[in-house]
Amino acid sequence: MPHSIDEAFTALPLRALADAALARARALGADHADFRLERVRSASWLLRDAKPAGSSDATDLGYAVRVVHGGTWGFASGVDMTMDAAARVASQAVAMAKLSAQVIKAAGSTERVELADEPVHADKTWVSSYEIDPFSVPDEEKAGLLADWSARLLAADGVTHVDASLMTVHENKFYADTAGTTTTQQRVRLHPQLTAVAVDASSGEFDSMRTIAPPVGRGWEYLTGTGWDWAAELAEIPELLAEKMRAPSVRAGSYDLVVDPSNLWLTIHESIGHATELDRALGYEAAYAGTSFATFDQLGKLAYGSSLMNVTGDRTAEHGLATIGYDDEGVAGQSWDLVKDGTLVGYQLDRRIAKLTGFQRSNGCAYADSPGHVPVQRMANVSLQPDPGGLPTEDLIAGVDRGIYVVGDRSWSIDMQRYNFQFTQQRAYEIRNGRLVGQLRDVAYQGTTPQFWGSMEKVGGPQTYVLGGAFNCGKAQPGQIAAVSHGCPSALFRNVNILNTSTESGRS
């Protein structure tokens, strides 16, 4: 049954505060003003070897006013829930815009901030798709479930230590602007994770195996049966970890590679998701691993990958971590093409970047992670689409004579242009004559973005599609964190460079 917005949030003087702030901004000559009030509750639990090791529960409540005044941005935020205080914050935002204008003029810039048009969305309400708000579940029940799962793993032969964690977020936002848009939203997300560690007492060697269940825009039901088979995954981890401890080290070289969605989502995030943020491609954003090789002059021209490659940006996917009804500029959630038949055809946009580059409309990619931060262009759910008639994963493996199948994400590295990269995994299996013959250790795959995606020969069918993702995507200065999902099927890549991570040069 659909949820309604929390009464504790709607009881706040949302519209009165917004009216006071927007009226003051108009009176001071703002060309545009928007007001955003947020309540973000975040809680986490950490257990080590089934014993509590830490927890947190914090609520961030406040509001922000952003203006365009004289062609320049201004921003200010506050926590005092009175009309006079909201008006003062608006005055501060305008004052910041005037000060910024002086700095920009002194630097010799004539660029003016203008925003792409967006239809007015008046009195809209949106709630994400979930059944049980995790904050309605007693803390002792959450900790108890993590302890029970940890104890199951610890009881298995070969498991020396277990780390378990759960992160939960309940986010409310109210937005209003001088054009007449008003939106009220609520969304829930959580990230459970367990890691089993094995230590060989005689040799001192150790390794780990982490669950591959992704973080999701769901509620407590995700941990109790809907959306993931936790019992099955926990039951297989000890045996998989024991096999990994016995596995031989990979021989570096060129291999065909079958990539499971539990690993491929991260490659999509780093090599496509960030690379198609248009502020990066324009050079406006260079924090957290740089700009982008997919520059704006290559739109409609760049061969991003093979003709089988179709990637969408999506703010509407059910249970997606970046799914919203309306972004932090009042833009409705949308889905659009980023890569079509292997060619770069789109970018992720906010209203300012859309106007600057000639797009008629933003695709809703503005987001601030707290009421004290200004919205910046952030990633949508960027996903590789499956082949409607594509093969199951086992048939992709069957088509490989000499290769490797990788499952689960681990470490990653990518350069400042989102071009050269390497990725590791939770487990890697040798493929010989179309069959899995056992795990390998020390495996990393390496390539450049267009070369790697150009080597994609087969894309799995819808039955292989999984929505992966992360809670901790970083961007901007000061830094902000956003949660984002990436869906993908399994896929087959030919002649991929495999490194051995246990050797300094990557060559055994």
pLDDT at res. 288: 82
What are the pLDDT digits (tens) for 137-159? 999 999 999 999 999 999 999 99
Domain spans of the chain, in order of start: 7-246, 253-500
**Local structure of residue 331 (DSSP, 8 states):** P
Confidence of residue 2 (pLDDT cuts 50, 70, 90): confident
CA distance 105 to 292: 28
In the block, tokens 């789109």 appear at 346
Q: What is the pLDDT of residue 1?
A: 55
pLDDT for 364 equals 98
The mean pLDDT of 83-107, rounded to a whole number, is 97
Res 420: pLDDT: 97
pLDDT digits (tens, 9 = 90+) for 187-199: 999 999 999 999 9
- Looking at every residue in the chain, the average pLDDT score rounds to 96
Residue with tokens 């104890």: 151
Give the CATH number of domain 7-246; options: 3.50.80.10, 2.40.128.20, 3.60.21.10, 3.30.2290.10: 3.30.2290.10
Give pLDDT tens digits for 207-220.
999 999 999 999 99
Q: Inform me whether the pLDDT recorded for 249 exceeds 60.
A: yes
β-pairing verdict for 335-340 and 343-344: antiparallel
Residue that has been written with the tokens 């291999």 in this structure: 255
Q: How is residue 93 written in tokens?
A: 């935002």
pLDDT in tens, 360-374: 999 999 999 999 999
The Cα 260–Cα 409 span in angstroms is: 10
Confidence of residue 505 (pLDDT cuts 50, 70, 90): very low
- What's residue 321's pLDDT? 98
Q: What's the pLDDT band for 226 if we cut at 50, 70, 90?
A: confident
CB 468 within 8 A of CB 488: yes
Cβ atoms 211, 151 nearer than 8 A: no
Residue 506 has pLDDT above 80, yes or no: no
What pLDDT sits at residue 496? 98
